[in-house]
Amino acid sequence: MIMNYNVENTLKTLEDKGVQLLDPRQVYVSPEVDLGRIYPGSVLYPGARVTGSRTLIGSGAKIGSEGPATVNNSVIGAEASIASGYVTDSTLLPCAKAGANCHFRGGTLLEEEANTAHTVGLKQTIMMYGVTMGSLINFCDALISGGLSRKVHTEVGSGFIHFNFTPWGESGDKATPSLIGTVTEGVFLDKAPIFLGGLSGIVGPKEIGFGSMTIAGQVVRKSVPEETMYSGDRASFERPFSYNSITPSEKHIQHTRKCNVDYLAQLYALKAWYTQVRLKRSSLSENKELSLVYSGALETLDECVKERIKRYKSFASQWGTDPFNDACLYEAAPEFAGSVDLKPELAYDKWVWSLTESDKSQLHDWIVSCADRIKDKL
């Protein structure tokens, strides 16, 4: 029983295995935590609170370097860090960084070198390799990719919001996922970065193309093509309004459906990439810790898929349109049958950069086929 739980014994066990506790008097690890999933070399700073049976803290990961930090049911990869704040039901891959006062909720995934500055709230949001967010940001229901490296990266300016709620109807809807870049192109780390100017927002669901820039201080109300600088404007108006008096047009319903189909197709493609590329590489290198982190990412992606299905079903029911045939989302992706050398001795980013044009072509054709399969079946 928890009332008989001796946290001091738990902390002593962690110290004995090489976990650094800078002040054990100010660290709490709850009884359901699997101590085998807290790796030697990780650092728990004063004020760290670790809970949840799913939690993993990888080698060299740092929790609470700038203030109190709670990690609940989350997977934190090697050398990743959480400065302070609250992270639940999320996954951070190796070398991802969450800034001070973060608030990461379910369905959050940060890939390698993705990072946030202070006071960033995320939910159902995927930041692919190297994506950077400034401060005072709120993102829910979005996937963000683009960029060539940690130095040449997609960036979201400070004070940005992804608006993910439409108040029409009895209870509104959140069938609003936005694609800022894509998985099928973004995984190859060779697409021009995207810049979303600060003190701004996007009204989801929208699509923002690679190499585009949105000007600071606006709300983006339309999708933006690749390599486009965008500044929108909206005329002021005043008119009678009632939440329940608005019925979306057929065009709006079809647009929402398309955005959700496209988003789910990208999630499916990303799951295929983790299963058939990332996990195979970590298995070949016999890196069990990394394999567990990738498995955690797949769990997070599964939660993202479930959320999207739930939100779209609610939207479809409210407005009398057909729901998805979502069984296809749980079917195995087509096997990659190419001859690409996975080079397990290389770090993930260095392997991607080492791919030949032939390698990229094979992998690209395959991952696009995974996404297209879902578009055809939903």
pLDDT of residue 228: 98
Name the pairing type of β-strands 132-133 and 155-156.
parallel
pLDDT of residue 171: 83
Check residues 146 and 2 and name the one with the higher pLDDT.
Answer: 146
| Residue 189 scores a pLDDT above 80 | yes
The answer to whether residue 11 sits within a structural domain is yes
The answer to whether residue 16 sits within a structural domain is yes
Closest to 46 (Cα-Cα) out of 79, 21, 71, 29: 21
Q: DSSP characters for 312-326?
A: HHHHHHHHT-----G
The answer to whether residue 12 sits within a structural domain is yes
Determine the average pLDDT of the residues in 95-104.
98
Q: At which residue do the structure tokens 């159902």 appear?
A: 124
Supply angle C-alpha 312, 177, 83, rounded to 5. Answer: 125
The answer to whether residue 192 sits within a structural domain is no
Check residues 229 and 235 and name the one with the higher pLDDT.
Answer: 229
Domain end, chosen from 88, 111, 140, is at 88
Overall pTM > 0.95: yes
The answer to whether residue 110 sits within a structural domain is no
The answer to whether residue 369 sits within a structural domain is yes
Length of the chain: 378
Name the pairing type of β-strands 85-88 and 69-72.
parallel
Amino acid sitting at position 73: N
- CA torsion sign for 311, 313, 318, 323 is positive
Q: Are 189 and 360 in contact (CB under 8 A)?
A: no
The answer to whether residue 287 sits within a structural domain is yes
Which pLDDT tens digit goes with each residue over 28-86? 999 999 999 999 999 999 999 999 999 999 999 999 999 999 999 999 999 999 999 99
Q: What is the mean pLDDT of the chain?
A: 96
Determine the average pLDDT of the residues in 336-364.
97
Closest to 214 (Cα-Cα) out of 156, 152, 166, 174: 156
Determine the average pLDDT of the residues in 75-100.
98
Q: Specify the number of domains making up the chain.
A: 2
Q: Are 295 and 340 in contact (CB under 8 A)?
A: no
The answer to whether residue 71 sits within a structural domain is yes
| Residue 320 scores a pLDDT above 80 | yes
Domain end, chosen from 65, 88, 111, is at 88
pLDDT band at 136 (very low <50, low <70, confident <90, very high): very high
pLDDT of residue 221: 95
Closest to 333 (Cα-Cα) out of 263, 266, 258: 266
Which pLDDT tens digit goes with each residue over 243-296? 777 888 999 999 999 999 999 999 999 999 999 999 999 999 999 999 999 999
Quote the domain boundaries for residue 263.
Answer: 250-377
pLDDT of residue 241: 79
Distance CA 94, CA 290 (A): 8
Supply angle C-alpha 89, 55, 53, rounded to 5. Answer: 95
| Residue 1 scores a pLDDT above 60 | no
Domain end, chosen from 39, 69, 88, is at 88
Q: At which residue do the structure tokens 């006071």 appear?
A: 119
| Residue 118 scores a pLDDT above 60 | yes
